Amino acid sequence: MQNAYFPLFVSKGALEAEKEHVEGFAAEVAWVTKSGQSDLIEPIAIRPTSETIMYPAYAKWIRSHRDLPLKLNQWTNVVRWEFKHPTPFLRTREFLWQEGHSAFATRPEADEEVLQILDLYARVYEELLAVPVIKGRKSEKEKFAGGLYTTTVEAFISANGRAIQGATSHCLGQNFSKMFHIEFVDEESKKQLVWQNSWGLTTRTIGVCVMVHGDDKGLVLPPRVAPIQVAVIHIISAKDSDETKSSIFNTMVEISSQLTSAGIRAKADTRDNYSAGWKFAHWEQKGVPIRIEIGPKDLAAGQCVAVARRSGAKTVLKLGPTLSADVSRLLSSIQAEMLSNARADRDSRLSVVTEWAQFVPSLDLGHMVLAPWCERVECEENIKKLTGPAAAAEAKAAAAAAAAASADDKADSDAAAAEASKGLTGAAKTLCIPFEQPEMVPGQLCFSGCGCAARAFTLWGRSY
């Protein structure tokens, strides 16, 4: 895989080279129509994605089986004039992404890469951002129509009960190589079409991380991605002698340089024109995973106090050579705890249902729903209609009544979830058909009541 960069502008002709699937997106394309006050002779599009810019080059660069596989990645910003409501990072008209585009001689090679990339994306979410995701395949309705099949990682934002697509990895088959004439001569001197994949991850990752971990005090950043992992703050009062002040000051600088040389991203906030309390709030809002406090009593005892941003847990740590290893361990445990916490939260908002009657009430509790489904496009469209605004209002009242009627803890938390998801409007759609499947009983019918046989458990939800 190599990095590359292709231009921002797409000519009308190039964009129309794949008219069929562009048609579905046409309303989102942004066009430059003027320079200064003069109209351009031909408007020029700003890339919404780069297939039509890159693939003509692929057609020229690929001649022989020796040119394959060709794998390019580019980091670009793209523009899509969406109609859905914009939300910072999660849905913006301009976003930064990496888009990978690869070409192979055979389908098995392409199939293998689709899953390798999807696994990398899952690891970005789980191992770096501490956000659990569900890997799976998109339904026919939700897949990228220009390709053969689409795989996805799906995340969940429990604050509002909405699911969100985290990243996508497509097998394009030979659809694009047909349109763009991307051909190669194989070992038997026969002309063949290449098999292609494309895959993308966007700055939406940042929004998902913020929404999943943030709290009322602001950001909560997982240690592995936090630009500052440790903020060192001194606690002194006017009563302290100048000598005490300066030795505390020296110690905090020492602590931060000791941590920095151990590879920990530490910062000593030595400003003395802000109070310690002000600085606590400041670094909390910025999501710094650990703050280290040091005051005169700590210094005398040869210790400092580490406070975890997420849980508020305090740990007394010895100053000296063991400090950086101790802080390192704390950072790792915070990272692990953030993921397991987010996973438990997500799992508590996931219902498995087999009957239509359970479906909308579960959604209205702000849950994702895993249900045996027939995988028919008409069935998905029908469910979308049945869960539209009007139907949702009716079911919401029923869910509230059910929660009120029952008095145990479960009902209380369900009622709280329902409360939190008020205003959770919009139709339900399939998020993915998870690779990891619960066992299905023989003869299981589709949960929708359409009467067809179920093919797989499918994840449904209201989504961004």
Question: Least distance (Å) from ligand 86X to the CB of residue 191?
Answer: 26
Residue 349 CA to residue 156 CA, distance in Å, equals 9
Q: In the complex, what is the shortest distance from the CB of residue 319 to ligand 86X, in angstroms, rounded to a whole number?
A: 50
Stretch that binds ligand 86X, among 195-203, 224-232, 306-314, 449-457 (CB under 6 A): 195-203
Q: Which stretch binds ligand 86X (CB under 6 A): 59-67, 198-206, 252-260, 419-427?
A: 198-206
Of 74 and 160, which CB lies nearer to ligand 86X in the complex structure? 74
Q: How many CB atoms lie within 10 A of CB 64?
A: 12
Tokens encoding 274: 């802000």
**Near ligand 86X by CB under 6 A, which window of 22-30, 178-186, 211-219, 390-398?**
22-30
- Residue 72: CB minimum distance to ligand 86X, A: 11
Kindly tell me which of 76 and 421 has the beta carbon lying closer to ligand 86X.
76
Residue among 4, 8, 14, 25 that touches ligand 86X (CB under 6 A): 25
Q: Cα separation of 382 and 429, whole Å? A: 10
Residues 137-156 that bind ligand 86X (CB under 6 A): 144
- Which residue has tokens 């058909």? 433
Among 161, 166, 200, 434, binds ligand 86X (CB under 6 A): 200
Q: DSSP secondary-structure letter at 270?
A: -
Q: How far is the CB of 387 from ligand 86X (least distance, A)?
A: 24
Residue 257: CB atoms within 10 A of its CB come to: 12
- By CB under 6 A, tell whether 76 contacts ligand 86X: no
From the CB of 433, what's the least distance to ligand 86X, in Å?
18
Return the structure tokens found at 186.
């194989």
Q: Count Cβ neighbours within 10 Å for each residue of 166-182 and write b for 16 or more, e otherwise.
A: bbbbbbbbbbbbebbeb
Q: Is 204 in the site for ligand 86X (CB under 6 A)?
A: no
Cβ contact 124:201 at 8 Å: yes
CA-wise closest residue to 297 among 244, 231, 365: 244
C-alpha–C-alpha distance, residues 392 and 399, integer Å: 10
Query: Rounded distance, CA 156 to CA 243, Å?
Result: 52
- Does 199 interact with ligand 86X (rule: CB under 6 A)? yes
Interaction of residue 22 with ligand 86X, rule CB under 6 A = yes
Interface mask (CB under 6 A) for ligand 86X, residues 87-106, using x and -?
------------x-------
* CB environment 283-300: b (16+ within 10 A), e (fewer): bbebbbbbbbbbbbebbe
Give whichever of 59 and 118 is closer to ligand 86X, judged by the CB atom.
Answer: 118
Closer by beta carbon to ligand 86X, 196 or else 229: 196
Asked whether the bond before 86 is cis by omega within 30 degrees of 0, the reply is no
Query: What sign results for the dihedral spanned by CA atoms 443, 447, 450, 454?
Result: negative
DSSP-derived secondary structure letter, 451: -
Tokens 């009957």: give the residue.
355
Mark 353-392 with x for binding to ligand 86X (rule: CB under 6 A) and - for no binding.
----------------------------------------
CA of residue 153 relative to chain centroid, distance: 8
Residues 95, 78 contacting (CB under 8 angstroms): yes
| Contact pick of 92, 152, 165, 168 for ligand 86X (by CB under 6 A) | 168
Total binding residues toward ligand 86X, as defined by CB under 6 A? 14
49 scored as a contact of ligand 86X (CB under 6 A): yes
| Among 29, 294, 339, 353, contact with ligand 86X (rule: CB under 6 A) | 29
CB of 352 to ligand 86X, least distance (A): 29
When the beta carbons of 195 and 457 are compared against ligand 86X, the nearer one is: 195
DSSP 3-state of 458: strand
Q: Which stretch binds ligand 86X (CB under 6 A): 194-202, 275-283, 416-424, 429-437?
A: 194-202
173 binds ligand 86X (CB under 6 A): no
Q: Taking the complex as a whole, how short is the minimal distance between the CB of residue 29 and ligand 86X, in angstroms? A: 4
- Within 13 Å and on the Cβ side, how many CA atoms surround 119? 6
- 39-43 contacts at long range (C-beta below 8 A, 24 or more positions apart): 42/11, 42/12, 43/12
- Contact (CB, 8 A) for 417 and 161: yes
Q: Does 198 bind ligand 86X (CB under 6 A)?
A: yes
| Sole binder of ligand 86X in the list 4, 14, 17, 28 (CB under 6 A) | 28
Interface with ligand 86X by CB under 6 A: which residues? 22, 25, 28-29, 48-49, 80, 99, 144, 168, 170, 198-200
